[in-house]
Amino acid sequence: MNSQKLNALIRKKAKEYNVSIQDFYDIYFFEEFLNRLSKSNYHDKYILKGGFLLENIIGIENRTTLDIDLSYKSKRIDEDELIKEFNEILDAVNNETISLKLNRIHKIKGEEKTEGYSIKISGGIFNIKKIFTVDVASGDYITPEPISYLYKSNLIEDNVINLKAYNIETIFAEKIETIISKGLRNTRMKDYYDIYLIFKSAKINYNILTDVIINTFENRNTKYSKTTIMNTLDNIVKSEIINKLYFEFIARSKYAEDIKLNIVIEIIEYVLKKVLWVKKYKLQIKSLIVVRHGEDSPDKLGGWSDNELTPLGIEQVKKMSRNLRELINDEFKFVSSDLLRTKETSKIISNELMVPIIYDERFRETNNGDFKNMSKNDFLMNHQEYIFSRLEMNKSYPNGESPEEFYKRIKNGFIELNEKFANQNVVLITHGGVYGVIKSLIEGVRWSNKQKYKIDYAEFKVFIKEE
């Protein structure tokens, strides 16, 4: 395609979608980058997200963006490795007409809760030059996993680029989380518009949205209790500053002029009431401290396996016990799961703090039946369909329990514990999965085995009775 044909095509598309010519030249360079990413050895490692993906899902006539956002599949980003991979991506297609070269790279700073880099790419075609940005972040959690996305070109008919991407539910959940976590500090009014746009234009799978919201909020350490969120939304609606910023945004936006702020807030409330909140089990215990056991055998499955603490796990528990000492007094009761790794954790705590332990088998991890004591390698090689997060709620492990049965066991145990030790203080030494169920009950949110509640080895979380 020569320069005249390209210019004519871009002018035609710009008029068709009521988008500026400059925006469509940007899209041309963006799509060329995505095409090269899809042809590279790293097409599964970089996951398309953000405004440019949303623009393609809901239509360029409804939204445009200035850069590309990617999620990095690994938890940590090595800058030298990133430079190497991007150079290979940019060289993945031999195109003499359009050139793409890495210009510079710098670490992203700010309030973001993920690690990231901003990469400037120099593009050129004929006499047109463009420097555009690709932001890469790690630490994102995508529920249930990245999707295979067929990106349909806005310029070239029938041109489809095969990429890994966020599902629309994760985009939606991240927008909601940003509005809640930033509250009155959020000056990006397009987040509110995006909520409206996704709700009205995209096909949202409400069956998975609960899990997506929980995992997004958990991953970003954002509170999601009904009281917290409703208070935040109420403050936003009443804020003169937010209302002024939003009015200015819709005044200069050709997309959002008829969308009122209170309508967006009502959408958020409607969605969260629909998928997230259920009966809340009010804490009768004065202070409940939930402790996860120390690191255990890394080569074996968890569940009911007879896993011992590793040397690192023992040191973790000793250190945690010293921190725990500052929070407790003689009034605390200590209750523990009776599996080996929690028993060993409890004994260290008992020796460090000179306290008795009450063992209760109801607070064991999920009963994984025939997979007890199996190596992780053997399990992953032969039984991937039994990965806990992939099970249907009513599907049991062979000679074990289902996620639903696990939930009911922990729920019943918690209700009795809560009543038995009403107005007392309790330390519960248990497992990561048990912590997730208990937190869901206290916060009043739906639980499923697809959710990832954050609690590290030998970490404790504190819940306080509401007055």
Residue burial 205-237, b: 16+ Cβ < 10 Å; e: rest: eeebbbbbbbbbbbbbebebebeebeebbeebe
Counting the structural domains of the chain, the total is: 3
- Are both 134 and 260 inside the same structural domain? no
Kindly report, residue by residue over 279-290, the tens digit of the pLDDT. 999 999 999 999
- Are both 237 and 298 inside the same structural domain? no
Alpha-carbon distance of 246 to 261, in angstroms, equals: 7
- Are both 152 and 240 inside the same structural domain? no
Which CATH number characterizes residue 114's domain? 3.10.450.620
Residue % of the chain over a pLDDT of 90 = 85
| 113 vs 146: which has the higher pLDDT | 146
- Are both 44 and 88 inside the same structural domain? yes
Could you tell me which of 166, 164, 73, 69 has the C-alpha nearest to residue 119?
A: 69
Report whether pLDDT(110) > 60: no
Per-residue confidence (pLDDT) for residue 114, from 0 to 100: 67
- Are both 175 and 162 inside the same structural domain? no
Average pLDDT over the chain, rounded to an integer: 94
What's this model's pTM, rounded to 2 decimal places? 0.92
Cα of 37 vs its chain's centroid, Å: 24
- Are both 161 and 300 inside the same structural domain? no
Per-residue confidence (pLDDT) for residue 256, from 0 to 100: 76
- Are both 174 and 161 inside the same structural domain? no
Alpha-carbon distance of 74 to 215, in angstroms, equals: 17
Longest dimension (CA), the chain: 83
Residue 155's CB is within 10 A of a number of other CB atoms, namely: 16
Q: Which residues fall within 8 angstroms of residue 253, CB to CB, at 6 or more apart? A: 193
Kindly report, residue by residue over 340-372, the tens digit of the pLDDT. 999 999 999 999 999 999 999 999 999 999 999
The residue among 275, 303, 318 that closes a domain is: 275
Q: Which residues fall within 8 angstroms of residue 448, CB to CB, at 6 or more apart? A: 210, 211, 393, 403
- Are both 102 and 180 inside the same structural domain? no
Report whether pLDDT(61) > 90: no
Residue 409 lies in a domain: yes
Kindly report, residue by residue over 68-88, the tens digit of the pLDDT. 999 998 878 999 999 999 999
Q: Using DSSP, how many helices (H) and how many strands (E) does the chain show?
A: 15, 12
Q: How does strand 147-152 pair with strand 128-137?
A: unpaired
- Are both 416 and 326 inside the same structural domain? yes
Burial of 329 (0-12, 13-18, 19+ CB in 10 A): exposed
Q: Can you name the residues that pair with 130 across neighbouring β-strands?
A: 123
102 pLDDT tier (thresholds 50, 70, 90): very high
450 pLDDT tier (thresholds 50, 70, 90): very high
Per-residue confidence (pLDDT) for residue 113, from 0 to 100: 54
Query: Crossing angle, helix 190-201 and helix 168-182, to 10 degrees?
Result: 150
- Are both 131 and 89 inside the same structural domain? yes
The residue among 166, 193, 216 that closes a domain is: 166
- Are both 184 and 245 inside the same structural domain? yes
Residue 318's CB is within 10 A of a number of other CB atoms, namely: 15
94 pLDDT tier (thresholds 50, 70, 90): confident
Query: Domain span at residue 94?
Result: 3-166
- Are both 338 and 227 inside the same structural domain? no
Could you tell me which of 140, 144, 154 has the C-alpha nearest to residue 45?
A: 140
